[in-house]
C-alpha cells in the first residue's frame, strides 16, 4: 500500500476537513477572535489530522501488505484467509469475515463436485467390470460354437474389450487417489501377455514381434503397463505401411539409474510437426485424418498413466520409416532391499 | 480325466465354461448354491477350481483363503477385475494363476493344463509310438537314436501330444507358441510343422501328423 494511493483514496475526507477548517476560520474571524488563538486552533487541528491519518495509514498498511505478500507466496490462493489474522479495524473485519464465508461456501461447492466425480468414476469402474461378463460369455459362446462366424465374432468382441479398457484406464488416470501398486514386474511376462492379447490382430496384418533383453524387471504396476503397451501395439498394428511386413521390436536396456523399454515399429511414422503434440488430449494429427477411427485418446491416456506412475515416456519418429516410444522406469534400490 | 469345479455366479458364463471344458476332455461341474459355498467347494473333491472374485456371500478371495486352510487343490482365479491389487491379494492367498475376463478360451485351457501338470508333478517323460519324449533336453529318442527338437518344434509337438488323436487348429498352436514367448507368424508355423514332420519321419514315424484341410492337424 502506497502513501500516495492512500491519500488519493482519502480525498473526500481532506475536502470535508478543508471545508470545515474554512468555515471555522470564517466564524473565528467573524467573532473577532485573536489571531494567536486562531493560529493555535489551526495548528491543533492540523496536528490532529496528521496524527489520525498516519495511524490509520499504518494500521491498514500492515494488514494489507501482509496479505499481498502472503498471496504472492501462496500456491493455493483461495486459502489466504487461513493465513491472516483478523484485522483490528472495522472494514477489514467485515471483509475478513466475508472471506471466510465465501471460502466455506466454495469448499462445499468443490466437495459436491468432487463427490459427483468420484461417484461417476466408481460407477464407470463397476460398469466396466459388469460389461466384461457378457463379453466373456459371448467369447466363450463364439468359441464353443465356432464355425466361420466364430472368428469374426471374436474379433469384434476383442474390439469391444479394447474400448472398455480405454474407458477404465481413462477413469483411473483422472483419479486423484492412488489405486495402483508398484512392485517388481518382469517385462517378459508383461510383454507376452500383451502380445497374446493382440495375436489375432497381429496375424491379420502379418506382423511379427521381435523381443530382446526382456529378462529385466521394472518397478511398475503390471496391469497398467500391460494396458499402455497394448495401446502402443494397437497403434503399431493400425498405422502400417502398405507392402511392407510390419515388424514390432520390443527391447529393454539397463542403465545405472533406470531401465529403458523401447517399443519400435516400422510403420507410417509421425510427421515432425505432429510429433510434439501426440500426447495431447484429442489430438489426431495427420495420421488420424488419413486413417479413420482415431480418437486421440490412446496416447493421452498412456501419458497420464506414465505421469502418475512416475515413468517418463518419449517418442521419436521419422515419417514413413519408424516410430519408437521409450518408457523410462526409475530404479529404486530401496524396493529391492525390502 | 481331471475334474474341474467352476465357481462363477454368472449363469451364462458358467454353462459355456462347462461346455468348453467338457469339449476339451475335462469333467466339469459348477456351484449353484452360494449360501454354503465353502462346504460345497470342499465337498466337490475337484482336481482344479476355477473361481471368480465377485460372487455372492463369501467373495472369491475370502473363499480361497478358507479353502486353503483345508486343501491344496489348485485354484485359478478368473475375474473381470483388472487390478494389480486383486492379483497380488489372490496370489498371496494361494491362487495358482490369475486370469482376467474376457479371456481367450485357448489360453484358459493352456493355463489349466499347465497348472494341472504342475500339481501332478509327474516326471515329464512321455512316450509317443515308442519314442521317448524328453522335455528337459528337448529331444525325442527311439532308444538308439536321439533327435533334438528346436524350442518351437517342442512346443508344437507337446501341444499335439496332449491332444493326441483329436484335431488341433493352427490357431491353438499359435496361441501355444505365443504363450511361450515365441511370437512367430503364420509362415514360421508352417515351416516348423514341416520340419517336425521330417524329424518324426527320420525316427520312423511316417505321416505322424495328418493335415485336415481348413481345420488343422491331427497327431496319430
Residues B113 and B162: beta-carbon distance below 8 Å: yes
Residues of chain B positioned with their CB less than 8 A from the CB of A153: none
Query: Which is nearest to A165 in space by CA: B101, B87, B99, B10?
Result: B101
In the predicted model, what is the mean pLDDT of chain A?
89
| Together in a domain, A130 and A249 | no
* Domain that includes residue A249, residue range: 183-337
How far off is chain B from A206, nearest CA to CA, in Å?
7
Query: Nearest-CA distance from B174 to chain A in Å?
Result: 8
- φ, ψ at B203 (rounded to 5°): -85, 10
Kindly tell me if the per-residue pLDDT of B19 is higher than 70: yes
What number is the average pLDDT over the span A328-335? 76
pLDDT for the residue numbered B123: 54
| Whole-number pLDDT of residue A2 | 84
Q: Is A97 part of any domain?
A: no
In CATH, what number is assigned to the domain containing residue A190?
Answer: 3.30.565.10
Measured at the alpha carbon of residue A251, what is the angle toward residues A181 and A240, in degrees to the nearest 5?
Answer: 105
Distance CA A111, CA A117 (A): 10
Same domain, A151 and A195: no
pLDDT at A336: 53
Given a cut of 90, is residue A242 above it in pLDDT?
no
Structural domains of chain B, with CATH: 3-120 (3.40.50.2300), 125-219 (1.10.10.10)
Q: Are B199 and B166 in contact (CB under 8 A)?
A: no
Q: What is the pLDDT of residue A200?
A: 85
| Residue B40 burial (C-beta neighbours within 10 Å; 0-12, 13-18, 19+) | middle
Question: Nearest-CA residue of chain A relative to B104?
Answer: A139
Query: What SS3 state is found at A181?
Result: coil
pLDDT for the residue numbered A286: 82
Whether residues A286 and A222 fall in one domain: yes
What pLDDT sits at residue A231?
94
Residue A108 lies in a domain: no
Query: Which of A151, A174, A197 is the last residue before a domain boundary?
Result: A174
* Angle (deg, nearest 10), helices A222-238 and A187-197: 50
Residues of B with CB under 8 A from a CB of A: 10, 12-13, 16-17, 19-20, 23, 54, 80-85, 87-88, 101-107, 171, 174-175, 178-179, 181, 183-186, 188
Chain-wide mean pLDDT for chain B? 87
Judge whether A49 and A17 are in contact, CB under 8 Å. Answer: yes
Residue with cell 527338437: B149
DSSP-derived 3-state class of residue A296: coil
Would you say B18 and B6 are in contact if contact means Cβ atoms under 8 Å apart? yes
- Are residues A58 and A15 both part of a single domain? yes
* pLDDT the model gives residue A292: 64
* Cβ contact, residue pair A181, B88, below 8 Å: yes
Looking at chain B, list the stretches that DSSP marks H as alpha helix, in order from N- to C-terminal side.
11-23, 37-43, 60-70, 84-92, 105-120, 151-162, 170-179, 186-202
Digit-coded pLDDT (tens) for A248-304: 999 999 998 899 999 999 999 999 999 999 999 989 888 877 776 778 899 999 999
pLDDT for A338: 47
Is A221 an interface residue toward B (CB < 8 Å)?
yes
* Interval A190-199 mean pLDDT: 90
Domain boundary among A174, A192, A210: A174
How large is the average pLDDT for residues B172-200? 89
Residue B141: what pLDDT? 84
pLDDT tier at B125, thresholds 50, 70, 90: low
Q: Is A187 on the interface with B (CB under 8 A)?
A: no
Cis preceding linkage at B102, omega within 30: yes
Per-residue pLDDT tens digits for A39-66: 998 899 899 999 999 998 998 898 999 9
Interfacial A residues in 201-220 facing B (CB < 8 Å)? 202-203, 206-211
For the cut 80, the answer to whether the pLDDT of residue A178 exceeds it is no
pLDDT band (50, 70, 90) for residue A133: very high
Q: Which residue has the cell 514386474?
A: A185
Residues A195 and A316 both lie in one domain: yes
Does residue A306 sit in the same domain as residue A165?
A: no
Sorting pLDDT into bands at 50, 70 and 90, what band is B106? confident
Do A260 and A214 share a structural domain? yes
Q: What is the DSSP string of A195-210?
A: HHHTHHHHHHTT-EEE
Q: Which residues pair with B79 in a beta bridge?
A: B100
Q: How far is CA A24 from the centre of its chain?
A: 66
CA distance A333 to A330: 10
Radius of gyration (C-alpha) of chain B in whole angstroms = 19
The C-alpha cell of A336 is what? 529391492
List the end-to-end C-alpha distance of chain A, in Å, as a whole number: 56
Are residues A325 and A237 part of one domain?
Answer: yes
| Overall average pLDDT of the B49-74 stretch | 90
Same domain, yes or no: A153 and A215: no
Q: Do A169 and A202 meet the contact criterion of CB atoms below 8 Å apart?
A: no
Residue A246 reports pLDDT greater than 50: yes
Confirm or reject contact between A124 and chain B (CB < 8 A). Answer: no
Q: Name which of A134, A140, A197 is nearest B109 in CA terms.
A: A140
Domain tally for chain A?
3
DSSP B147: E
Q: Is residue A28 within 8 Å of A41, Cβ to Cβ?
A: yes
The mean per-residue pLDDT over the stretch A318-336 comes to 84
Amino acid at each position: 500500500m502506497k502513501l500516495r494511493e492512500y491519500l488519493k483514496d482519502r480525498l473526500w475526507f481532506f475536502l470535508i476537513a478543508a471545508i470545515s477548517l474554512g468555515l471555522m476560520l470564517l466564524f473565528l474571524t467573524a467573532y473577532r477572535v485573536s489571531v494567536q488563538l486562531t493560529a493555535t486552533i489551526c495548528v491543533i487541528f492540523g496536528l490532529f489530522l496528521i496524527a489520525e491519518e498516519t495511524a490509520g495509514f499504518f494500521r491498514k498498511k500492515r494488514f494489507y501488505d501482509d496479505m499481498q505478500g502472503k498471496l504472492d507466496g501462496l500456491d493455493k490462493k483461495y486459502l489466504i484467509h487461513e493465513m491472516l489474522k483478523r484485522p483490528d479495524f472495522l472494514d477489514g473485519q467485515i471483509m475478513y469475515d466475508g472471506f471466510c464465508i465465501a471460502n466455506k461456501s466454495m469448499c462445499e461447492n468443490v466437495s459436491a463436485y468432487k463427490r459427483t466425480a468420484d461417484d461417476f468414476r466408481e460407477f464407470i469402474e463397476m460398469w466396466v467390470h459388469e460389461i466384461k461378463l457378457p463379453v466373456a460369455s459371448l467369447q466363450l459362446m463364439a468359441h464353443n460354437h465356432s464355425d466361420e462366424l466364430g472368428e469374426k465374432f471374436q474379433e469384434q468382441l476383442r474390439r469391444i474389450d479394447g474400448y472398455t479398457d480405454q474407458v477404465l484406464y481413462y477413469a483411473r488416470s483422472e483419479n486423484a487417489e492412488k489405486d495402483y501398486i508398484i512392485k517388481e514386474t518382469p517385462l517378459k511376462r508383461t510383454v507376452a501377455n500383451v502380445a497374446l492379447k493382440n495375436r489375432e490382430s497381429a496375424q491379420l496384418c502379418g506382423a511379427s514381434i521381435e523381443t530382446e533383453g526382456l529378462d529385466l524387471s521394472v518397478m511398475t504396476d503390471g496391469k497398467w503397463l500391460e494396458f499402455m503397451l497394448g495401446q502402443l501395439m494397437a497403434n503399431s498394428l493400425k498405422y502400417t505401411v502398405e507392402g511392407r511386413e510390419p515388424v514390432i521390436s520390443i527391447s529393454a536396456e539397463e542403465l545405472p539409474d533406470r531401465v529403458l523399454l523401447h517399443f519400435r515399429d516400422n510403420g507410417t511414422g509421425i510427421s515432425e510437426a505432429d510429433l510434439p503434440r501426440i500426447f495431447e488430449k484429442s489430438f489426431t494429427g495427420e495420421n488420424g485424418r488419413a486413417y479413420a477411427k482415431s480418437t486421440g485418446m490412446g496416447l493421452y491416456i498412456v501419458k497420464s498413466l506414465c505421469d502418475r506412475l512416475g515413468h517418463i515416456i518419449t517418442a521419436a519418429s521419422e515419417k514413413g520409416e519408424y516410430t519408437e516410444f521409450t518408457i523410462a522406469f526409475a530404479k529404486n534400490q530401496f524396493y529391492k532391499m525390502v | 480325466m481331471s475334474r474341474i469345479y467352476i465357481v462363477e455366479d454368472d449363469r451364462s458364463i458358467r454353462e459355456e465354461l462347462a461346455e468348453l471344458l467338457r469339449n476339451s476332455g475335462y469333467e466339469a461341474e459348477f456351484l449353484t448354491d452360494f449360501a454354503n459355498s465353502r462346504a460345497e467347494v470342499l465337498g466337490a473333491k475337484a482336481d482344479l477350481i476355477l473361481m471368480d472374485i465377485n460372487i455372492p456371500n463369501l467373495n472369491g478371495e475370502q473363499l480361497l483363503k478358507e479353502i486353503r486352510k483345508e486343501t491344496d487343490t489348485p485354484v485359478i482365479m478368473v475375474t473381470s477385475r483388472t487390478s494389480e491389487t486383486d492379483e497380488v491379494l489372490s496370489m498371496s492367498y494361494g491362487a495358482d494363476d490369475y486370469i482376467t475376463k474376457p479371456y481367450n478360451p485357448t489360453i484358459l485351457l493352456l493355463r489349466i493344463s499347465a497348472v494341472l501338470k504342475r500339481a501332478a508333478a509327474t516326471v515329464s517323460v512321455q512316450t509317443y509310438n515308442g519314442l521317448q519324449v524328453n522335455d528337459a533336453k528337448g529331444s525325442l529318442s527311439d532308444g538308439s537314436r536321439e533327435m533334438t527338437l528346436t524350442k518351437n518344434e517342442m512346443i508344437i509337438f507337446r501341444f499335439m501330444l496332449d491332444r493326441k488323436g483329436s484335431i488341433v487348429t493352427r490357431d491353438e498352436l499359435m496361441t501355444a507358441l505365443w504363450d511361450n514367448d515365441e511370437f512367430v507368424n503364420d509362415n514360421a508355423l508352417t515351416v516348423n510343422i514341416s520340419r517336425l514332420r521330417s524329424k518324426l519321419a527320420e525316427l520312423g514315424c511316417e505321416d505322424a501328423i495328418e493335415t485336415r484341410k481348413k481345420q488343422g492337424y491331427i497327431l496319430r
